[in-house]
Amino acid sequence: MLSLRTDPAAQDVDLIHRFLSEDSPWARGIPKDLVRESMQNSLNFGLFNSEAQVAYARVVTDYTTFAYVLDVFVVQEHRGKGYSRMLTEAVLAHPRLQGLRRWVLVSSTARGLYAKYGFAPLEKPETFMEINRADPYVGGA
């Protein structure tokens, strides 16, 4: 039976750290203490099949105007079961995230899924800027 948990203490930090540090292209090498701290400062969404965590996402937000969805993943052996869809729906339906002016996510995969929920390429990309430190956790950089 699937359940959604948003309490940071309920999340499987070891699983999340392992995925982010070893499998994700965006946080390879991230130390576990930084993963734990990022979770404490975010709204967490963990999808659990009985007691095992099968998917995760977190949202950084001010709860009034803006939300940034990040660190979204489904454990490899549980992909293809609709868990990404369930997780996305749970994030977008969260009561504290209603009425926000802007949602942002960065994804090179699952763009078709996110488009079904209203995500689109930046309307005015020329107005967005970033500081992007590639691979900050690899090699002690």
* Residue 83 within a domain: yes
User: How many alpha carbons lie under 13 Å from residue 122 in its C-beta half-sphere?
Assistant: 10
41-82 pLDDT, tens digit per residue, is: 999 999 999 889 999 999 999 999 999 999 999 999 999 999
pLDDT-based confidence at 35, cuts 50/70/90?
Answer: very high
* Residue 30 within a domain: yes
Give the single-character DSSP code of 19. Answer: I
CATH number at residue 10: 3.40.630.30
84-123 pLDDT, tens digit per residue, is: 999 999 999 999 999 999 999 998 888 999 999 999 999 9
pLDDT-based confidence at 8, cuts 50/70/90?
Answer: very high
**Are residues 73 and 63 in contact, defined by beta-carbon separation less than 8 angstroms?**
no
Question: 53: domain range?
Answer: 2-120
- Overall number of domains in the chain: 1
Query: Which helix H or strand E contains 59, and what residues bound it?
Result: strand 52-61
**Are residues 66 and 101 in contact, defined by beta-carbon separation less than 8 angstroms?**
yes
Cβ contacts of 29 within 8 Å, gap of 6 or more: 21, 135, 137, 138, 139
* Residue 129 within a domain: no
